[in-house]
Amino acid sequence: MAFRAGLRPLTPTPGASDTFGLGCAPIGNLFTAVADADADATVGAALDAGIRFFDTAPHYGAGASEARLGRALAGVPRDSVVLATKVGRRIVDADGAAVPSGAVGADTVADLSRDGVLRSLEGSLARLGTDRIDLLYLHDPMDVDEALRSAIPELVRLREEGVVRAIGVGMVWPDPLTRFVQEADVDVVMIAGRTTLLDHRGESSLLPQVAARGVGVVAAGVFNSGILADPENTPYFDYREASAEQRSRALALAALTESHGLPLRHVAARYPLRLPAVEAVVVGARTAAEVFDFAAAEHAEIPDELWAEIEHL
């Protein structure tokens, strides 16, 4: 990976992607159940496509995503991949009781305590079948003050002790993320859905701050939950039905990219990489076909004139 924080596979694979990662929420049964064999095929396709960065979290399927990713990567040299997961939520069973470390549960609940961070990480290591995490995020902390007071110091300690290689925060909203960049010693932030062709809210406040402080950015949610992948058939924005204005703009963008012989989804996946400090894009996939499709976007020839036309659309 090309993070300025120095986060790369310890043993790089020649020809592997240095900008795209696989988002593993879908193999945690996000919205649609996924069979174990299909999850294996999805991760295998990512490896075949040269992807070596994998992003997961206990929240994705209450541990199912991590367990499936760990199983699919068994036998893959650990130093050849980068694993990112998250803390800030703990897994509980259907009755709300904590599950044993490493187990899969029914749901997750917020927990920003020091103990919660440690227990979450312990479970993630067990499910992933690894002894270390490359990038550990704090996952959507709703109480920024509490996170800065309790969770962030524990993440810093884990990094200092070499348990994790880099730390960060992942959120949808740029303003809280900007606070973490300004007030915490983080290496990377993940911004979801706010550095896209339809939503630029992360670009005016967050990106100048991360650039000034040498913090890397991972862009996620590049399709805004569907509308930038296929505005005709999946007109959803932030997991809700898109507004008429959003759909109209997405259709206009699709017409423009298609006039250059490019699908909108490939241009949408590449867009964040044009922004200062954005060093990687994570795209979720449920099937091998989806993986190969978004991996192709990394090598698509996108002319400068198309970017200029998009800016003036």
DSSP string, 232-284: TT--EETTEEPPHHHHHHHHHHHHHHHHTT--HHHHHHHGGGGSTTEEEEEEE
Give the 3-state secondary structure of residue 94. Answer: coil
Nearest to 297 by CA among 59, 19, 65, 3: 19
Nearest to 271 by CA among 16, 19, 3: 19
Token pair 């496509």: residue:
49
CB 185 within 8 A of CB 247: no
Cα 188 to its chain centre, rounded Å, is 11
Whole-angstrom distance, CA of residue 20 vs CA of residue 42: 15
Q: Catalytic annotation on 60?
A: yes
Write down the catalytic residue from 60, 137, 236, 271: 60
Just list the catalytic residues: 60
